[in-house]
Amino acid sequence: AEDTGLRVELAEEGDCSNSSLALRLWVEDPKKLKGKHKDNEAIEFSFNLETDTPEEVAYEMVKSGFFHESDSKAVAKSIRDRVNLIKKARDKKPAGC
């Protein structure tokens, strides 16, 4: 959340073989967002490491009215940063977990 004002955390992780995750996103620093958004509300969503892209999820969040179009890049970046961290952590785990 250091630069986008948004925080994304892992809500639920399947086992390593499962590429689907549950992530949770909320606004940590409202001043860093340009458009209207819902304060104090966390949005939990599924994310498939193999088929989903952060940009696509951000677009759906904007379409659903959670964020303004002007913040979609920040939402996508926050999701991408967290997903990259999760992928790195998984790469470190022994094969077969």
In the bound state with other proteins, the residue whose beta carbon lies nearer, of 17 and 40, is 40
- How long is the chain? 97
- Residue 39 is classified by DSSP as T
In the bound state with other proteins, the residue whose beta carbon lies nearer, of 45 and 72, is 45
Q: Answer for the pair 88, 32: CB distance below 8 angstroms, yes or no.
A: no
Identity (one letter) of the amino acid at 49? L
Binding-site ranges for other proteins (CB under 8 A): 1, 7, 26, 28-29, 38, 40-46, 57, 60-61, 63-64, 66
In the bound state with other proteins, the residue whose beta carbon lies nearer, of 64 and 70, is 64
Burial of 80: CB neighbours in 10 Å, binned 0-12, 13-18, 19+: middle
Shortest separation between residue 64's beta carbon and other proteins, angstroms: 4
Shortest separation between residue 61's beta carbon and other proteins, angstroms: 7
- Residue 32 is classified by DSSP as G
In the bound state with other proteins, the residue whose beta carbon lies nearer, of 33 and 61, is 61
Residue keyed to tokens 């909320």 = 26
Shortest separation between residue 45's beta carbon and other proteins, angstroms: 5
Q: How many CA atoms are closer than 13 Å to the CA of 85, on its beta-carbon side?
A: 10
Shortest separation between residue 17's beta carbon and other proteins, angstroms: 22
